[in-house]
Amino acid sequence: MQAFMKAWNEACRTDTGPAKILVPKGTFMTAPVIFQGPCKSNEPIIFEVQGTVKATNDLSQYSEDTWFLFEKIIGVVLIGGGIFDGQGPSVWKYNDCKKNKDCTKLPSSIKFQRVTNAVVSDITSVNSKFFHYHVTDCTNFTANNLKIVAPDDSPNTDGMHISDTNGVKVTKSTIGTGDDCISIGQGVTNATISEVFCGPGHGLSIGSLGKYEDEADVKGIMVINCTLFNTTNGVRIKTWAASPPSAASNITFQDIIMKSVKNPIIIDQKYGSRSSTEPSRVKISDVHYKNIRGTSTSKVAVNFLCSSSVPCEGIELTNIDLSYVGTKDPESPISASCTNAKVKTRGAHPPGCEEL
């Protein structure tokens, strides 16, 4: 930890040009570290990881909710082909978030907070204790050629969770975890997710939204040219029942391939409480599903369970070509289910929502 901090402090103080930190080939164990700005140089700091960095499993050393934290920086580039190993298997047993909504979260592996102009490329993250990447309160975040790996039964190991961030590009990456491959939370605007292979995991998700008061709206989200394999969900929007008001709009899912996906296209506005009598107040509108094809392991391949308080509006299905693969009635066609949703259809689509 001290070596990392010393190198960062020197790089952050440099004002004569771009500074570079190199983690050479080899294996290094470290406790949590915070790389904090503001820094003197106008050039981005290059953080090149060639080796393998392993996280300590002594949870008493984590005073924050993350292992590697980049904070209050203008310009940082994380590259090098190296590996961040969160060593999650030894601590996942302490995660009780499924049973306890007020659980103490385990630390995420890499967090970007209040960072402007961040780039992450050619990095592998394995077995995070919680999220692999957590991006929040940032501007202009770009990630490409990432590899993110955790078992399909590992708890809350989202590949990347993004919130309160404007300007996001995630592309050409392979993600397989025990939770969402990518989850887009409150306050995300102008985000593009492209050429991502997701599986196993819970799919590519917007949400969950509406858990807290005064959440910022989500808008301008494009998910394009992605493949999902053997995931619980495909492309999903999820909001909490009985939520405070907010909105999600201008969302496009386009050119998506589904391979043995349980819920290929889903809007779930009763997330967290199926029995709740209080509807979600997150308004979902202007959502477009275009050119989505492949196989579903459920007969209901399109499921829009929208709010009775603020029904979904401007939902469009265009050229949805999904077939059912299952052990029961393999020849039966797929269908769509729409509740409190105003849907327009064009081209191929599963029957069930045309009249709405």
Side chain identity at 95, as an amino acid letter?
A: N
User: CA angle, corner 181, sides to 70 and 244, nearest 5?
Assistant: 80
Give the integer Cα–Cα distance in Å for 290 and 298. Answer: 20
- The residues that bridge with 136 in the sheet, in sequence order, are 113, 163
Q: Is residue 202 flagged as an active site residue?
A: yes
* Element (DSSP H or E) covering residue 6: helix 2-13
C-alpha to C-alpha distance for 198 and 232, rounded to whole angstroms = 11
Residue 328: half-sphere exposure toward Cβ, Cα within 13 Å: 3
Q: Which of 132, 134, 202, 349 is catalytic?
A: 202
Per the structure block, which two tokens stand in for 248?
A: 């999600």
Do residues 141 and 112 touch, judged by C-beta distance below 8 A?
Answer: yes
Q: Which two tokens stand for residue 115?
A: 């960072």
Helix (H) or strand (E) holding 304: strand 300-305
Rounded to an integer, what distance in angstroms lies between the CA atom of residue 199 and that of residue 260?
10
State whether residue 5 is helix, strand or coil: helix
- Active-site residue list: 202
